């Protein structure tokens, strides 16, 4: 596979908090010849102007002269599998295989401005032939203080590109041995079938490597979201497992079949994690028309490479759109004082001087563009997530409705030690309200009191690094139904076969508890940044398939995603705010129609064609601050590209 993507987004520029001064601003000398007297007098004293001192300015300005930022991505991947299976002796059989999977990334970021170059180009004095950079060399002055002052030469000096390469690889070796213990007389006296077993091993190594160039590594690209980091780590796991199926009773009154299933797995990870997991299940078929089943499982999910080894970095986030300790501006341009009191803001690291004016009007700059900053990254001390799953259901093949197969299952999954982070707005609000050190330690303010920027050393941020702190409970109902239309009974069997298949899921609960002791909140039927996407109450795929007598199979599918409500428009504890957002109140239901056909030309060759999203249904749009920074104004659960056509050819030799 090879895919290439080119993306153009809004121009880069001087973003508030992204400079390289101690406060995340940009140093400008007060005697800069590009400054008008009014401009210089706004942020410099007469003494500073006379001495040519520099002041730290919180500048926000787009590079409108240079155009949009460009990103180029290319992925390539391949997979190789080699395996063998055969007989050992008697009923014993083996199956062993090895696989190698590789994906590479090549990425280029272009039309960015250099933060270091900006710092040089804003330090300007008059030279013999006009304004020059104090740093000298190839530096060209950057005049952002006068209309039309930015020259092509200045942009050429400031321009910087970034490139990076990376790869992920996965190597697997797995083998199983299966056998029938009936060869040794191991069998229930009330069952016709004997006990069957399977044993096996699994070894896997996952490796992630990412290498940015010097420009990305140093965080020099203004508007790139902070410094990139090098990653070069692996995880290895060795596992052994065993499974068994034990027929207990068969062909008895009210017991057509009663079977016990069991399994056990031992896992040993290179990270030091050792786990024992198991499953047990029971199936009971009173007649051939219906079968009941139930199961209980204990499972784990070990932390992955990114969760463990991603180096920590600071980037912007829309999860906290504003700082309550900083003033805002209303639609009319009027300054609105900070919503938090001086006493509250002191708990988050604000000083009385920064809050200013006797504690009535904060002097702290507000987070720009609705994005405060977050510290993200891995944690090598993470432990595995633990899950306990209970399910019960039945399947039916009623003899009085030939061709019908129906299956309904209820499941409940309880997960503990979920790998997550303290929600950013929770850390901030709990610190404001209570001063609890657990939450206040997550608030790190820059020297000037801000909580934005892109530098671990200079920026303010809220700690959002991973930890085993959350828990979750998910429950729902899965529905699977297939019905082969009785065309033969209607005398229409000459046109082939037609079947209808339905796969649906109903969400009963998607409960999350972000912190021990907190109230849980239920995301079922909701969407939003805290819920992490959309969780519709109902979704399904309904497919009608026609197998013609002319070696052509055609299908029509209806994919349905149910309506969801904005999480903050609810009264859910720890989640809802009871206010209605008129524009983002709901994401309406979406239906997609797909068409596909397969022509089996002969035993060796087949041709397939199709159209997905036939009616070119657009996804519902929401505020990008709710979907997440860097994502489109919607969720990937929907079709983002509109109508898609495909064609494929398969040859078997």
Residues 453-482 have pLDDT tens digits of 776 566 789 998 888 988 999 999 999 999
Q: How far is CA 630 from CA 13, 320, 383, in A?
A: 17, 15, 29
21 vs 638, residue with greater confidence? 638
Is pLDDT of 577 > 70?
Answer: no
Domain boundaries, the chain: 287-484, 527-653
Give the closest residue to 639 by CA, choosing from 609, 614, 606: 614
Q: How far is CA 371 from CA 59, 105, 334, 348, in A?
A: 15, 28, 20, 18
**11-25, 552-566, 625-639: lowest mean pLDDT where?**
625-639
Residue 317's H or E segment, with its range, is strand 313-317
Q: How far is CA 530 from the centre of its chain?
A: 12
Q: What average pLDDT does this structure show over 129-153?
A: 95
Give the closest residue to 514 by CA, choosing from 603, 600, 423: 423
Q: For residues 604 and 650, give the distance between their C-alpha atoms in angstroms, rounded to a whole number.
A: 8
Q: Check residue 4 and give its pLDDT.
A: 95
Q: How confident is the model at residue 630 (pLDDT cuts 50, 70, 90)?
A: low
Is pLDDT of 617 > 90?
Answer: yes
Q: For residues 228 and 209, give the distance between their C-alpha atoms in angstroms, rounded to a whole number.
A: 13
Given the DSSP bridges, would you call strands 526-528 and 564-566 parallel, antiparallel or unpaired?
A: parallel
Q: For residues 422 and 608, give the distance between their C-alpha atoms in angstroms, rounded to a whole number.
A: 48
**Residues near 337 by Cβ (< 8 Å), separated by ≥ 6?**
327, 360, 361, 362
Q: For residues 148 and 141, give the distance between their C-alpha atoms in angstroms, rounded to a whole number.
A: 13
Q: What is the pLDDT of residues 395-420, one digit of tens each?
A: 999 999 999 999 999 999 999 999 98
**Distance between first and last Cα of the chain:** 21
Beta strands in 181-254 (DSSP E): 196-212, 221-222, 231-252
Q: How confident is the model at residue 36 (pLDDT cuts 50, 70, 90)?
A: very high
Is pLDDT of 604 > 50?
Answer: yes
**Residues near 354 by Cβ (< 8 Å), separated by ≥ 6?**
362, 363, 364, 448, 449
Q: How many Cα neighbours within 13 Å face the side chain of 246? A: 14
For the beta carbon of residue 635, count every other beta carbon within 10 angstroms: 21
Give the closest residue to 453 by CA, choosing from 314, 320, 352: 314
68 burial via Cβ count (<10 Å: 0-12, 13-18, 19+): middle
Q: Check residue 17 and give its pLDDT.
A: 76
Is pLDDT of 177 > 90?
Answer: yes
Q: What is the pLDDT of residues 254-265, one digit of tens each?
A: 999 999 999 999
Is pLDDT of 253 > 90?
Answer: yes
Q: For residues 453 and 14, give the distance between their C-alpha atoms in angstroms, rounded to a whole number.
A: 11
Is pLDDT of 615 > 60?
Answer: yes
Q: What average pLDDT does this structure show over 619-633?
A: 77
Q: For residues 396 and 304, give the distance between their C-alpha atoms in angstroms, rounded to a whole number.
A: 39
> What's the DSSP call for residue 65?
T
Q: Across-strand partners of 398?
A: none
Q: For residues 77 and 106, give the distance between their C-alpha atoms in angstroms, rounded to a whole number.
A: 12
Q: For residues 105 and 589, give the distance between their C-alpha atoms in angstroms, rounded to a whole number.
A: 35
Q: For residues 624 and 312, give the distance between their C-alpha atoms in angstroms, rounded to a whole number.
A: 24
Q: What is the pLDDT of residues 515-574, one digit of tens each?
A: 888 888 899 999 988 888 899 999 999 999 999 999 999 999 999 999 999 988 877 766
Give the strands of the sheet with 533-534, arranged side by side. 533-534, 526-528, 564-566, 586-587
Q: For residues 389 and 521, give the distance between their C-alpha atoms in angstroms, rounded to a whole number.
A: 20
Is pLDDT of 96 > 50?
Answer: yes
Q: Check residue 518 and give its pLDDT.
A: 81
User: Quick check: 307 and 341 in contact, CB under 8 A?
Assistant: no
Torsion of CA 20, 23, 26, 30, to 10 degrees: -140
Give the closest residue to 54 by CA, choosing from 33, 27, 73, 81: 27
Q: What is the pLDDT of residues 203-246, one digit of tens each?
A: 999 999 999 999 999 889 998 877 788 899 999 999 999 999 99
Q: For residues 397 and 207, give the distance between their C-alpha atoms in angstroms, rounded to a whole number.
A: 46
Give pTM, 2 decimals.
0.80
User: What HEC string does 168-181 produce?
Assistant: EEEEEEEEEEEEEH
Q: What is the pLDDT of residues 78-89, one digit of tens each?
A: 999 999 999 999
Given the DSSP bridges, would you call strands 274-287 and 290-301 parallel, antiparallel or unpaired?
A: antiparallel
Q: Check residue 580 and give its pLDDT.
A: 72
The phi and psi torsions of 452 (rounded to 5 degrees) equal -145, 165
The phi and psi torsions of 422 (rounded to 5 degrees) equal -65, 120
Give the closest residue to 601 by CA, choosing from 526, 640, 562, 652: 652
3-class DSSP assignment, residue 191: coil
Q: For residues 441 and 323, give the distance between their C-alpha atoms in angstroms, rounded to a whole number.
A: 16
Q: What is the pLDDT of residues 343-360, one digit of tens each?
A: 999 999 999 888 875 445
Q: For residues 620 and 632, give the distance between their C-alpha atoms in angstroms, rounded to a whole number.
A: 11
Q: What average pLDDT does this structure show over 348-374?
A: 78
Average pLDDT score, the chain: 91
Q: Across-strand partners of 385?
A: 301
3-class DSSP assignment, residue 40: helix
Q: How confident is the model at residue 433 (pLDDT cuts 50, 70, 90)?
A: very high
Q: What average pLDDT does this structure show over 293-313?
A: 92
Percent of the chain with pLDDT over 70: 97
Q: How many Cα neighbours within 13 Å face the side chain of 635? A: 19
Give the closest residue to 298 by CA, choosing from 322, 270, 269, 263: 263
Q: For residues 282 and 248, give the distance between their C-alpha atoms in angstroms, rounded to a whole number.
A: 10
**Residues near 167 by Cβ (< 8 Å), separated by ≥ 6?**
102, 103, 104, 105, 207, 208, 209
Percent of the chain with pLDDT over 90: 69
Q: What is the pLDDT of residues 316-344, one digit of tens each?
A: 777 788 899 998 888 787 888 888 998 99
Is pLDDT of 579 > 70?
Answer: no
Q: How confident is the model at residue 582 (pLDDT cuts 50, 70, 90)?
A: confident
Is pLDDT of 583 > 90?
Answer: no
Is pLDDT of 302 > 50?
Answer: yes
Q: Check residue 569 and give its pLDDT.
A: 81
């Amino acid at each position: 596979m090879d895919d290439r993507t080119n993306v153009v987004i809004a121009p880069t520029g001087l973003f508030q908090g992204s400079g390289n001064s101690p406060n995340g601003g940009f140093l400008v000398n007060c005697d800069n010849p590009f400054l008008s007297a009014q401009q210089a007098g706004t942020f410099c004293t007469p003494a500073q102007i006379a001495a040519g001192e520099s002041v730290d300015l919180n500048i926000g300005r787009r590079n409108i002269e240079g155009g949009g930022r460009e990103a180029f991505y290319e992925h390539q991947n391949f997979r190789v599998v080699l395996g063998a299976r055969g007989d050992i002796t008697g009923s014993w059989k083996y199956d062993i295989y090895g696989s190698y999977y590789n994906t590479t990334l090549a990425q280029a970021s272009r039309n960015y401005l250099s933060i270091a170059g900006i710092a040089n180009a804003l330090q300007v004095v008059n030279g013999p032939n006009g304004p020059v950079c104090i740093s000298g060399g190839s530096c060209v002055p950057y005049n952002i203080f006068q209309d039309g002052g930015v020259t092509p030469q200045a942009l050429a000096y400031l321009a910087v590109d970034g490139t990076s390469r990376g790869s992920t690889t996965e190597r697997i070796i797995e083998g199983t041995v299966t056998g029938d213990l009936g060869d040794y007389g191991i069998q229930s006296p009330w069952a016709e079938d004997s006990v069957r077993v399977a044993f096996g091993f699994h070894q896997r190594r996952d490796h992630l490597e990412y290498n940015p160039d010097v420009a990305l590594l140093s965080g020099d690209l203004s508007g790139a979201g902070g410094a990139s980091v090098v990653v070069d780590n692996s995880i290895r796991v060795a596992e052994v497992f065993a499974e068994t199926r034990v027929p207990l009773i068969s062909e008895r009154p009210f017991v057509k079949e009663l079977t016990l299933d069991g399994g056990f797995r031992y896992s040993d990870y290179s990270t030091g994690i050792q786990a024992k997991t198991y499953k047990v299940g029971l199936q009971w078929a009173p007649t051939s028309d219906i079968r009941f089943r139930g199961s209980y499982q204990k499972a784990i999910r070990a932390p992955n490479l990114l969760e463990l080894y991603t180096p920590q970095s600071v980037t912007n986030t829309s999860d906290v759109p504003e700082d309550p300790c900083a003033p805002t501006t209303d639609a009319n341009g009027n300054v609105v004082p900070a919503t938090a009191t001086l006493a509250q803001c002191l708990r988050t690291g604000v000083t009385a001087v920064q809050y200013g004016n006797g504690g009535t009007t904060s002097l702290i700059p507000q987070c720009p563009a609705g994005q405060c900053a977050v510290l993200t990254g891995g944690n090598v001390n993470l432990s595995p997530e633990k899950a306990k799953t209970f399910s019960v259901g039945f399947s039916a093949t009623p003899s009085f409705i030939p061709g019908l197969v129906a299956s309904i299952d209820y499941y409940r999954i309880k997960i503990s030690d979920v790998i997550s982070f303290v929600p950013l707005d929770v850390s901030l609000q709990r610190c404001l309200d209570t001063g609890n050190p657990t939450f206040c330690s997550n608030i790190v303010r820059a020297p000037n009191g801000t909580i934005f920027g892109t530098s671990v050393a200079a920026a303010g941020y809220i700690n959002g690094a991973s930890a085993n702190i959350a828990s979750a409970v998910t429950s729902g109902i899965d529905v699977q139904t297939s019905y082969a239309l009785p065309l033969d009974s209607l005398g229409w069997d000459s046109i082939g076969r037609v079947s209808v298949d339905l796969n649906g899921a109903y969400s009963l609960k998607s409960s999350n508890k972000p912190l021990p002791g907190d109230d849980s909140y239920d995301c079922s039927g909701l969407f939003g940044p805290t819920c992490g996407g959309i969780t519709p109450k109902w979704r399904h795929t309904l497919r009608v398939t026609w197998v013609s007598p002319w070696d052509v199979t055609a299908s029509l599918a209806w994919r349905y995603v149910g309506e969801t409500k904005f999480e903050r428009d609810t009264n859910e504890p720890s989640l809802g705010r009871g206010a209605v957002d008129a524009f983002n109140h709901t994401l309406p239901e979406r239906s997609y129609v797909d068409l596909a056909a397969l022509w089996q030309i002969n035993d060796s060759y087949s041709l397939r064609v199709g159209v997905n999203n036939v009616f070119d249904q657009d996804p519902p749009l929401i505020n990008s601050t709710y979907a997440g920074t860097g994502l489109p104004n919607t969720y990937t659960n929907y079709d983002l590209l509109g109508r898609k056509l495909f064609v494929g050819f398969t040859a078997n030799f």
